[in-house]
Amino acid sequence: MNSILSYETVSLDEREGALVILDQTKLPNEIITLHLTDIREIWRAIYTLQVRGAPAIGIAAGFGLYIAVKDIDTEDYGEFLRKFREAKDYLNSSRPTAVNLSWALTRMERVVTSNAGKTIPEIKELLHEECRAIKSEDIDMCRRIGEHGLTLIKDGAGILTHCNAGQLATSKYGTALAPIHLGRERGMNFRVYCDETRPLLQGARLSTFELMADGVDTTLICDNMASQVMKMGLIDAVFVGCDRVAANGDACNKIGTSGVAILAKYYGIPFYVLGPTSTIDMKNRTGSIIPIEQRPPEEVTEMWYSRRMAPEGVKVINPAFDVTDHELIAGIVTEKGIARPPYTESLREIMLP
């Protein structure tokens, strides 16, 4: 069997006009690729986490929007724009927290609105070029995040990560795992401890899978073991990804991340957030106004179990994300460099053209 790292997470099948994704709900036991041509299938794939990870969601949204509008049969710009925006708003409703989704869709919309004088076939081709550019830029972005992240760790370092922000969440390398994959290309070795990441187990199912495929010394721990592992002196740094970063440096990521940050602060371990500048939302002054997606209760009570593991009727709260306060973050690693406190200043400077 080919290594999981040899598969593309998200791609565009030009011949079939299909969005091609790895079905991440089946990993690590089955490697299945899906070819999606209908906008409702694409919406569902994003919502159900068949494709997941902020950058990968953005890429999928770009490809998906192009697929949804490429066959619109009209020469009228106004009608095309109306149908384009209907498709855009529909896809944007699939995941409210990850800003890369709306970022990619807005980027595609800008192509349409800034080329109103062109023919519809010309606009469609420009959309085709733009969605492909989103992916190619993502590969370069991840590599550069990896380069900057490597300056923060030494060969042999122990790193704790939460959720999956590796190649399975992007086009290549990943964000939080990019320094590790890039370091492996250069013969470096790290000890990586993966939180399982309840309730969807992205750490257990995905991060361990791709790290082991890259020959990384990988250890899986339950989420509630992080404190003990830190106390044992096994962790030199924490690397996590992000789905949205506010202007003050508050970082929204998979549920459980803020607890890891609090523990790292207590034990004096640097906690780093790694993500592209596309996840930085300067319109959000603080993380308190970032919308937090609420997921179905069945993910907590039934998923992964052969029989229901909680009593019928019990109330469940299942927020998909939490927000880590900027005071707990040692640095925010982007493709443009590492932002340090005070983030209101460093992020503003990084976001300059």
Q: Is 316 helix (H, G, I), strand (E, B) or coil?
A: coil
Is the distance from CB of 335 to CB of 349 less than 8 angstroms?
no
243 labelled catalytic: yes
Identify each DSSP E strand in the chain by its residue range. Answer: 10-13, 18-22, 33-36, 158-161, 191-195, 217-221, 237-240, 244-246, 251-254, 271-274, 280-281, 321-324, 331-334, 337-339
**4: its two tokens:** 């999981």
Tokens 């995905």 found at: 206
Residue 58's nearest CA partner among 3, 113, 101 is 101
Torsion sign over Cα 147, 152, 155, 158: negative
Identify each DSSP E strand in 190-292 by its residue range. Answer: 191-195, 217-221, 237-240, 244-246, 251-254, 271-274, 280-281
**56: its two tokens:** 């990968």
Nearest-angstrom CA–CA distance, 275 and 288:
19
> Checking DSSP bridges between strand 321-324 and strand 191-195, what pairing results, if any?
unpaired
Residue 166's nearest CA partner among 28, 280, 303, 296 is 28
Nearest-angstrom CA–CA distance, 290 and 293:
10
Is the distance from CB of 65 to CB of 88 less than 8 angstroms?
yes
DSSP 271-296: EEEE--GGGEETT-SSGGGS--PBPP
**308: its two tokens:** 């229901």
Q: Of these residues, 195, 243, 281, 322, which one is catalytic?
A: 243
- Please give the positions annotated as active site: 243
